[in-house]
Amino acid sequence: MQVTKQAKEDALAPLLRQAFRPMFLFGAIFSAIAMALWGLALSGTIQLNTYYNVVFWHQHEMLFGFVTAIIVGFLLTAVQNWSGVRATHGYPLFWLTAVWLAGRLLMLFGGDLPHIVVALVDLAFLPMAAIFFALILLKAGQQRNMFFVPILLLLAVCNLLMHLGVLQGHFQFISHGSTNAVWLITLVMAVVSGRVLPMFTANGTSTPRVAPIVWLDRLALGSIWLVFVLHFFVLVKYIPSSVMVVLFSLAAITNFVRLIRLRFWITLNVPLLWSLHLAVAFIPAGLALFALRYAGFNISASTATHALTAGAMGIMILSMMARVSLGHSGRPLQPKRIMAIAFLFVIVSAVIRIVSGGWFPMTAAEWYNWAIGAWVLAYGCYIVVYFPVLTTPRADGRPG
């Protein structure tokens, strides 16, 4: 989409021409470094002087450092196609990226700084992104995608809750913020995948696009919304476990049916597709694990949550970054073969993390190291392969 003059575009550093460029690159680098540091800290090899403590740092940074960077990069790139208005670039994008980076550095090295200083810097990123996103839609006079503005602001509230937990010494605030962030991000994944996966599958396999079933989509997304609302307003403790079993089962079944209708088996020759299908499959898997947990099975909240985080988020982010980086840099949607191996690595990482704690508790720490190593290799492949893609002009010579 031609939305700016070529001469003006050529004066910009390629990294600042679209939000996906710095957010994907730095987000991927950060995830690999943060996961490696987490593994070294877990093993006692190093000691980190992080904000609050290293467990909080890992929990917070994988959500509000890594995942939200990719979400913002995706939204501030996609909004240009949705609205026809030039998306955030140049100096605004530079400052947005700088605020995000400052937050990561302070969270990692700011153990001796006043907590309020670190918190204020970290909390600035999501509201800034929400404002940039909203301004583009307002300029275009578009309302449909305004849905994502409250999502970004609610994520900012979840981040605030985690920081309030640190500042006021209330662990339940930390847990409340992180748990609700997981449910919000799960909702975003369900919404975005429901929009793009039918089109991606049809285009990538040269098959007819599967038409949506409106009531099924509403039930699938509505059930996740309800899960979030019940958790956010602390209503879960007032609801019988049997009701939660029904709700999570409904969410798992409807989201699975929504996915299986797209016929995963026709994507097996297209890594950009089968990886995305598998990523989405971890959403109903995680929901089903929560249903089993409420039904009394010996499944920890951590195990079920990691199906959504290490599984759905970790795999979907890698797959979407690989696709979006090619498409929005004017390149064919044909990733290098090593990316198929990277997808397998991140899937292996997720599976190990999910099953090791419950099935191999005595050797869980060793299995966690393997999961961490697989994650670092997966995202390391992306960094190496896509660094020149993200830091050079579009291959087709167009702006962006």
- pLDDT on residue 144: 86
Task: Return the structure tokens found at 292.
Answer: 């089993």
Residue 293 CA from chain centroid, whole number: 24
Question: What pLDDT does 363 receive?
Answer: 72
The answer, yes or no, to whether residue 135 has pLDDT greater than 70, is yes
- Short-list 155, 88, 90, 147, CA closest to 122: 155
Contacts with 110 (C-beta within 8 Å, 6 or more apart), sequence order: 50, 51, 117, 118
Q: What is the pLDDT of residues 53-110, one digit of tens each?
A: 999 999 999 999 999 999 999 999 999 999 999 999 999 999 999 999 999 999 999 9
Per-residue confidence band for 3, with pLDDT thresholds at 50, 70 and 90: low
Residue 150 has pLDDT above 70, yes or no: yes
* Short-list 151, 148, 18, CA closest to 96: 18
C-beta of residue 381 within 8 angstroms of C-beta of residue 338: yes
CA atoms within 13 A on the CB side of 167: 13
104-130: pLDDT as tens digits: 999 999 999 999 999 999 999 999 999
* pTM of the entire predicted model: 0.95
**CATH assignment, 6-390:** 1.20.210.10
pLDDT-based confidence at 360, cuts 50/70/90? low
Contact 210, 198 (CB under 8 A): yes
The C-alpha atoms of residue 271 and residue 332 are separated, in whole angstroms, by: 14
Query: What are the backbone angles phi and psi of residue 140, rounded to the nearest 5°?
Result: -85, -10
pLDDT at 372 over 80: yes
**What's the whole-number mean pLDDT along residues 321-349?**
96
Provide the pLDDT for residue 4.
57
48: Cβ contacts below 8 Å, ≥ 6 apart:
37, 41, 54, 57, 108, 111
Question: What does the pLDDT look like over 161-176, one tens digit per residue?
Answer: 999 999 999 999 999 9
Per-residue pLDDT at 275: 98
Report how far apart the first and last C-alpha atoms of the chain are (Å, whole number). Answer: 9
Residue range 229-244, pLDDT digits in tens: 999 999 999 999 999 9
> What is the per-residue pLDDT for 329?
94
Helices (H), 84-210: 90-109, 115-123, 125-140, 148-168, 171-205
Would you say 245 and 295 are in contact if contact means Cβ atoms under 8 Å apart? yes
Res 1: pLDDT: 46
In the chain, the percentage of residues whose pLDDT exceeds 90 is: 91
**Residue 6 clears pLDDT 80, i.e. is over it:** no
**Residue 371 gets which letter from DSSP?**
H
User: Where residue 259 falls among pLDDT bands split at 50, 70, 90?
Assistant: very high
pLDDT at 176: 97
pLDDT of residue 90: 95
Instruction: Measure the CA–CA gap between 30 and 34, rounded to whole angstroms.
Output: 6
What is the spatial distance between Cα 292 and Cα 369, in angstroms, rounded to a whole number?
A: 27
Question: Looking at residue 8, what is its pLDDT?
Answer: 75
Answer yes or no: are the C-beta atoms of 349 and 371 closer than 8 Å: yes
